[in-house]
């Protein structure tokens, strides 16, 4: 495992879970430069973002599963259906709360938005200029 090139800055970033999205642009310049130069901190940042996105994905799947469980119980009406429906509703509510906590406590939504914007820019850059002019109507 590689070592951080500037342990002082690396320790600050580690305390923030390598999240510099909430910093003012003039403050984040040094940290962005450090993340670009330091392989150790960059890999740790990628690990943290992967964990955040995995938590969001698991919570989303959990919400969908509880919705399907509620719908299946309601459709098939097994014995004690009301008890099962209540449990599915409680599981759904718990999953939504976990999803919201992860979305608020982590920079995962910002990471997803940045990835979407980057993908849109890449797609836009691949469109030939002639077609772009025709599409814009100018």
CB atoms within 10 A of CB 41: 23
Q: State the pLDDT at residue 1.
A: 60
For the chain, what are the domain ranges?
Answer: 7-136
CA–CA separation, 14 and 75 (whole Å)? 49
* CA angle, residues 59, 65, 67, in degrees to nearest 5: 105
Helix 25-37 crosses helix 7-15 at what angle (to 10 degrees)? Answer: 120
- The pLDDT tens digits of the residues spanning 78-134 come to 888 899 999 999 999 999 999 999 888 888 777 777 778 888 888 878 888 878 777
Which residues have CB under 8 Å from 79's CB, separation 6+?
A: none
Coil, helix or strand at residue 24: coil
Structure tokens given for 30: 């040094």
């Amino acid at each position: 495992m590689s070592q951080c090139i500037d342990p002082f800055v690396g320790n600050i970033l580690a305390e923030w879970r390598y999240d510099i999205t909430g910093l003012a642009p003039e403050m984040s310049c040094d940290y962005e430069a450090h993340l670009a130069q330091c392989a150790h901190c960059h890999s740790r940042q990628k690990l943290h973002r992967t964990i955040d996105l995995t938590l969001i994905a698991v919570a989303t799947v959990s919400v969908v599963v509880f919705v399907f469980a509620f719908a299946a119980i309601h459709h098939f009406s097994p014995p004690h259906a009301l008890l099962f429906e209540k449990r599915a509703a409680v599981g759904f509510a718990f999953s939504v709360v976990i999803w919201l906590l992860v979305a608020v406590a982590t920079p995962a939504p910002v990471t997803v938005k940045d990835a979407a914007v980057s993908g849109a820019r890449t797609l836009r850059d691949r469109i030939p200029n002639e077609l772009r002019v025709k599409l814009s109507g100018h």
